[in-house]
């Protein structure tokens, strides 16, 4: 094998690895992956993962808009907004945003007294079902 052939081989491997990484990143950010476990809620959205025990949840509500915040890291593309934000420049309270569709209602979840999370799915019915589920976990219906 000559030097040129080795370079082509390495370049091909680099291209294939890059394509695999891009496809995985796209798949991970494509939607919010929400899993309801026995003890808590797990949300995976790209590189962002959060696990919230039901016992730590304080309140849940539906909101039309996300308040303006300062982005620590994350991204916005068309209708999607994902990342970690700060409420304002005076506080260090982090707000986690996992929004697949900005034009639809979002779930606002407060946990551990001051931590906030905004979440919705592409399908508004899924978002509504998740809101009902979380509402029942925080305030169980009285029998």
Give the β-pairing of 115-120 and 70-77: unpaired
pLDDT band at 3 (very low <50, low <70, confident <90, very high): low
| Closest CA relative to residue 97, chosen from 111, 114, 80, 112 | 80
Residue 81: CA atoms inside 13 Å, Cβ hemisphere, count? 24
- pTM equals 0.77
| Architecture label for domain 31-138 | Roll (2.30)
**80-117 confidence digits (pLDDT tens):** 888 999 987 777 889 999 999 999 999 999 999 889 99
| Residue 108 near residue 95 (C-beta atoms within 8 A) | no
Cβ neighbors of 109 (< 8 A, separation 6 or more) are 52, 57, 59, 60, 116, 117, 118, 119, 134
| Residue 61 near residue 138 (C-beta atoms within 8 A) | no
If one compares 84 and 33, the residue with the highest pLDDT of the two is 84
How high is the pLDDT of residue 2? 59
């Amino acid at each position: 094998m000559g030097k040129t052939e080795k370079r082509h081989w390495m370049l091909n491997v680099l291209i294939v690895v890059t394509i695999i990484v891009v496809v995985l990143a796209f798949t991970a950010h494509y939607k919010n992956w929400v899993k309801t476990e026995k003890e808590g809620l797990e949300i995976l959205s790209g590189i962002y993962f959060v696990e919230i025990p039901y016992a730590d949840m304080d309140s849940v509500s539906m909101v039309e808009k996300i308040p303006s915040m300062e982005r620590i890291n994350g991204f916005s593309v068309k209708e999607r907004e994902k990342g970690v934000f700060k409420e304002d420049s005076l506080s260090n309270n982090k707000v986690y945003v996992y929004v697949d569709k900005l034009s639809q209602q979002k779930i606002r979840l407060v946990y551990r007294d001051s931590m906030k999370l905004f979440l919705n799915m592409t399908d508004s019915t899924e978002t509504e079902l998740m809101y009902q589920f979380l509402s029942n976990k925080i305030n169980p219906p009285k029998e």
